A and B are shown apart, each in its own frame.
Chain A
Amino acid sequence: DQQVKQNSPSLSVQEGRISILNCDYTNSMFDYFLWYKKYPAEGPTFLISISSIKDKNEDGRFTVFLNKSAKHLSLHIVPSQPGDSAVYFCAASPKLGKLTFGTGTRLTIIP
């Protein structure tokens, strides 16, 4: 039972354009959501988070949007840069503790 789903295994975006990564969840008890970025042979690196009391959180080029009624969140990266090429994982938790992860989306930024 996949409680956190990332339905796009891969995404290619031109450098300078906007990258939009999507994530859906099924567990209504989740109230904290995070995005992690992972390069090959490294552990995941925390990128940005959002709690359920908000619908948007912004940090530089990265913005996360949360639609609780649709149980959907998205990560926007603008403008996209070659260094953004990585696998992005969406994660969720009912309280900030153990995380349930999606299967990841491989983002490739085309120079």
Chain B
Amino acid sequence: GAGVSQSPSNKVTEKGKDVELRCDPISGHTALYWYRQRLGQGLEFLIYFQGNSAPDKSGLPSDRFSAERTGESVSTLTIQRTQQEDSAVYLCASSSTLETQYFGPGTRLLVL
């Protein structure tokens, strides 16, 4: 497909478990972003990858959150020891340098 894809689309986990969320950006897009949206709130920036530069991790809420990106392709967001407040929709976006971000459909995470 031509758009940003994310998997899984939904994830239910128990408090304390680790989860991995995956993002496949649009081919050729050098920049990749992770955001999250908690219920009734706006999108909250988490982390930003641009080419081979060091990622901007300034939005990660705690050291339980980490993300990796392989070259200019797939990215994985990992949440360790999940807490109930981690429940949210996690959104990935990609862009060509200095251009508009295009979003995937999101992963809905529910921590019980």
The contact size tier of chain A is: 20 to 34
Smallest CB separation, B45 vs chain A (Å): 5
B56 at interface (Cβ–Cβ under 8 A)? yes
What does the 1/0 interface line of B68-112 toward A look like (CB < 8 Å)?
A: 000000000000000000000001010100111111111000000
Chain B residue nearest to A4 in the complex (CB): B42
Task: Report how many A-B pairs have Cβ atoms within 8 Å.
Answer: 55
Chain B positions within 8 Å of A36 at CB level: 103
Using C-beta atoms within 8 Å of the partner chain, give the interface range for chain B.
20 to 34
Is A85's CB within 8 Å of the partner chain B?
A: no
- The A interface is mostly helix, strand or loop, or mixed, namely loop
Chain B residue nearest in CB terms to A103: B42
Cβ A45 vs Cβ B103 within 8 A: yes
Contact A99 B105 (CB under 8 A): no
Closest residue on chain A to residue B102 by CB atoms:
A46
| Extra contacts besides A89-B42, A98-B45, A101-B43 (7): CB < 8 Å | A45-B103, A46-B101, A46-B102, A91-B43, A96-B98, A99-B35, A101-B42
Binding site for B on A (CB under 8 A): 4, 6, 34, 36, 41-46, 49, 89, 91, 95-104
